[in-house]
């Protein structure tokens, strides 16, 4: 919570002026019953129309000034709340980008989306209402009680009792609902996660005809959320009826006691009206305070969740050395191991190899063998837990992440394009690239023909996720995006899986013809993609079971022989 308070410091002035103007409005509101009492007791009985008009004018003036003060307070409160939430959202988003993939895996993308959107919006509402009402409501409550004591101390004791009872009701309900609010936010995370998963995997769901089961799954989680919200709602819904019951009982007691004193002449009718108005003000403000505390309770739960994200320290430390061309003389894995979770099995075990500039390293193996894990260690998406990875003679952990990743062109398994144009997507690789650079990258990636067939060519629109392109087209465009930066190290993480054999072969020939040729890592499940590699690593269950050229592995590695036989049979069937 203290961590979030720092985001309000730039708005100290607004945080002071907003409540002050609200207190000014409240002060004028407390004066109104006295003016009405004076009009009822002094002007109306003697028929002084001038006195009535003077009181009416004072009331109109107080209303005008109070309205101006209220609007001004709202302006300052809104400015502080919006500025606070903007800065907080920016800070959380920036902090997320400093976290490693391991940290993001632990947090989960669904909960991060909820915290960046719904939670921060709830905190913004809490700040806005807090600046406007947190001081105003108690000020009016205790101010009205003091004014009641000034009018009649004995009857004012009713006010004390009412305030105590209402405070017990309000805060009792608040403390009862606080843990429930946290449960509601947790259930909302689950709903968000399932919704996100269903939207991203809608084609798979329909292909397997799982719509009904996924709907049932969503309904179960939605029912949990509904029950949690209903439980909270029933308690908070009891607030208004209980407060109104207390108020009406207090009004009856006030009128009964005041009526006797009016008959005896110790209390005037105007004073009774003033006391009734002060009692009504107390109720209204306590109801507002109750609603405010409900909002603040939700905001506090959301603030803790957002603060938890900001409290996560990146487990991956940035290096200090800037990578130079001399450091690219070789890339060596020396007895490298990695496990994703401290208590889990190792995803890679005791892996060693050396890659030189211009070489192509093929990485092949079955599903779950650790192929993607291997190449993700190169740009430090994950950090090894054993052994060492060296560029030249320097561990990769010694380099700054920005300089390390600036020389790596990484094409992930899932081809992802961003909404915009082909040009804007390619410029991710190198913002200063010329059109000639873009076309050269497209030619190498076998994607130039795709772009030339579009009327707008490089300025052709790209929908979110590249949904207006086929899987193979998306893969070639993402490869071109990586090639635009002319990387010293190129990683193709099974990024040609949607390409036909002829296009795949043309792509590999074009990569070998690049000048200078990058150190290329090709992850694949078919031997035709890696057969011409200078070195092939065969992985099985995280262990390197074969290492050498295509011919060497065909002669010595049973796992590679099996993969090759399977791929060859599939290739024959495809050509047939």
Find the helix packing angle between 120-133 and 49-98, rounded to 10°. Answer: 150
One fold for 2-311 and 316-407+487-576: no
Q: Considering the chain, what percentage of its residues have pLDDT values greater than 90? A: 14
| 415-486 is classed CATH 3.40.50.300 | yes
User: Above 70 in pLDDT, residue 508?
Assistant: yes
Q: Which DSSP string do the residues of 7-52 spell out, in sequence order?
A: GGGGGHHHHHHHHHHHHHHHHHHHHHHHHHHHIIIIITTTT-HHHH
Q: What whole-number distance in Å separates Cα of residue 261 and Cα of residue 158?
A: 15
pLDDT given at position 489: 92
Q: Which DSSP string do the residues of 181-202 spell out, in sequence order?
A: HHHHHHHHHHHHHHHHHHHHTH
| Beta bridge partners of residue 408, listed in sequence order | 489
pLDDT given at position 498: 72
Helix, strand, coil percentages (3-state) for the chain, rounded to 5, are 70, 10, 20
CB atoms under 10 Å from CB of 542, counted, come to 22
Cβ-Cβ contacts under 8 Å for 534 (sequence gap 6 or more) = 359, 360, 361, 549
pLDDT given at position 568: 63
Each residue of 75-110: pLDDT tens digit?
999 999 999 999 999 988 988 888 887 888 777 777
Q: Which of 100-104, 361-365, 468-472 is the least confident region?
A: 100-104
Which residue would you say has higher pLDDT here, 358 or 182? Answer: 358
pLDDT given at position 251: 81
Residue 256 buriedness (CB in 10 A; 0-12 / 13-18 / 19+) = exposed
pLDDT given at position 569: 55
CATH hierarchy code of domain 316-407+487-576: 3.40.50.300
**What is the helix (H) or strand (E) element at residue 358, kind and residue range?**
none
End-to-end CA separation in angstroms for the chain: 66
User: Above 80 in pLDDT, residue 338?
Assistant: yes
8-state DSSP, 157: H
Q: What whole-number distance in Å separates Cα of residue 314 and Cα of residue 103?
A: 7
User: Above 90 in pLDDT, residue 382?
Assistant: no
Each residue of 346-358: pLDDT tens digit?
888 889 999 999 8
Q: What would the mean pLDDT of 169-198 be, rounded to a whole number?
A: 78
Q: What would the mean pLDDT of 432-437 be, rounded to a whole number?
A: 90
Each residue of 282-337: pLDDT tens digit?
878 877 877 787 788 788 888 888 888 888 888 888 888 899 888 888 999 999 99
Q: What whole-number distance in Å separates Cα of residue 89 and Cα of residue 149?
A: 47
Which residue would you say has higher pLDDT here, 72 or 175? Answer: 72
Q: Which DSSP string do the residues of 374-399 spell out, in sequence order?
A: HHHHTTTSS--SEEEEEETTEEGGGB
Each residue of 519-573: pLDDT tens digit?
999 998 888 888 888 999 999 888 899 899 999 899 888 988 888 887 665 554 4
Sheet with 519-524, edge to edge strand ranges: 394-395, 386-391, 331-338, 348-355, 543-548, 535-540, 360-365, 519-524, 489-493, 408-411
351: which 2 tokens? Answer: 């892996």
Q: Considering the chain, what percentage of its residues have pLDDT values greater than 70? A: 96
Which residue would you say has higher pLDDT here, 263 or 95? Answer: 95
Most confident of 108-122, 267-281, 380-394: 380-394
What is the residue extent of each domain of the chain?
A: 2-311, 316-407+487-576, 415-486
* 516 upstream amide cis, omega within 30 of 0: yes
Mean pLDDT of the chain: 84
User: Above 70 in pLDDT, residue 470?
Assistant: yes
CATH hierarchy code of domain 2-311: 1.20.1560.10
User: Above 50 in pLDDT, residue 576?
Assistant: no
User: Above 70 in pLDDT, residue 476?
Assistant: yes
Q: What would the mean pLDDT of 399-427 be, rounded to a whole number?
A: 89
Q: What whole-number distance in Å separates Cα of residue 148 and Cα of residue 163?
A: 13
Ramachandran category for residue 108: left, alpha or beta (phi over 0 → left; psi -120 to 50 → alpha): left
**What is the helix (H) or strand (E) element at residue 461, kind and residue range?**
strand 461-462
User: Above 50 in pLDDT, residue 180?
Assistant: yes
């Amino acid at each position: 919570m203290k961590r979030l308070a720092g985001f309000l410091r730039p708005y100290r002035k607004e945080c002071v002026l907003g409540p002050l103007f609200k207190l000014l409005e409240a002060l004028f509101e407390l004066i109104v019953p006295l003016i009405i009492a004076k009009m009822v007791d002094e002007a109306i009985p003697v028929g002084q129309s001038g006195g009535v008009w003077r009181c009416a004018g004072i009331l109109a003036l107080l209303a005008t000034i109070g309205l101006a003060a209220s609007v001004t307070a709202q302006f300052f409160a809104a400015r502080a709340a919006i500025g606070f939430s903007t800065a907080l959202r920016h800070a959380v988003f920036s902090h997320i980008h400093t976290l490693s993939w391991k940290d993001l895996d632990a947090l989960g993308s669904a909960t991060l989306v909820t915290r960046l959107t719904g939670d921060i919006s709830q905190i913004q509402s809490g700040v806005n209402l807090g600046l406007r009402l947190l001081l105003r409501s108690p000020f009016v409550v205790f101010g009205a009680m003091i004014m009641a004591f000034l009018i009649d101390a004995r009857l004012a004791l009713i006010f004390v009792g009412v305030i105590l009872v209402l405070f017990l009701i309000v805060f009792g309900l608040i403390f009862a609902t606080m843990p429930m609010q946290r449960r509601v936010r947790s259930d909302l995370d689950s709903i968000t996660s399932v919704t996100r998963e269903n939207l991203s995997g809608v084609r798979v769901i329909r292909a397997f005809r799982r719509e009904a089961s996924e709907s049932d799954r969503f309904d179960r989680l939605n029912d949990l959320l509904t029950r949690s919200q209903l439980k909270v709602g029933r308690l908070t819904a009891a607030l208004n009826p209980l407060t109104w019951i207390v108020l009406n009982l207090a009004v009856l007691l006030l009128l009964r006691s005041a009526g006797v004193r009016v008959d005896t002449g110790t209390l005037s009718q105007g004073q009774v009206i003033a006391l009734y108005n002060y009692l009504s003000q107390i109720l209204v403000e306590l109801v507002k305070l109750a609603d405010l505390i409900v909002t603040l309770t939700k905001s506090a739960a959301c603030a803790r969740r957002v603060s938890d994200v900001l409290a996560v320290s990146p487990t991956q430390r940035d290096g200090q050395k800037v990578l130079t061309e001399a450091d690219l003389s070789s890339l060596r894995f020396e007895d490298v191991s990695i496990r994703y979770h401290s208590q889990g099995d190792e995803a890679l075990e005791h892996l060693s190899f050396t890659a030189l500039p211009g070489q192509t390293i093929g990485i092949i193996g079955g599903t779950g063998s650790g192929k993607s894990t291997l190449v993700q260690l190169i740009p430090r998406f994950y950090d090894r837990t054993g052994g060492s990875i060296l560029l030249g003679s320097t561990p990769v952990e010694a380099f700054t992440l920005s300089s390390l990743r600036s020389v790596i062109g990484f094409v992930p398994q899932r081809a992802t394009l961003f909404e915009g144009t082909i040009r804007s997507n390619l410029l991710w690789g190198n913002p200063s690239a010329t059109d000639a650079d873009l076309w050269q990258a497209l030619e190498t990636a076998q994607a130039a023909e795709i772009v030339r067939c579009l009327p707008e060519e490089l300025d052709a629109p790209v929908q979110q996720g590249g949904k207006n392109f086929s899987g193979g087209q998306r893969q070639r465009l993402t490869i071109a995006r990586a090639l635009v930066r002319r990387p010293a190290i190129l990683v193709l993480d099974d990024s040609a899986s949607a390409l036909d054999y002829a296009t795949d072969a043309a792509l590999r020939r074009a990569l070998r013809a690049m000048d200078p040729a990058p150190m290329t890592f090709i992850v694949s499940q078919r031997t035709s993609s890696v057969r011409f590699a200078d070195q092939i690593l065969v992985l099985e269950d995280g262990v390197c079971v074969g290492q050498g050229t295509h011919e060497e592995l065909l002669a010595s590695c049973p796992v590679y022989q099996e993969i090759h036989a399977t791929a060859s049979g599939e290739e024959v069937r495809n050509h047939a």
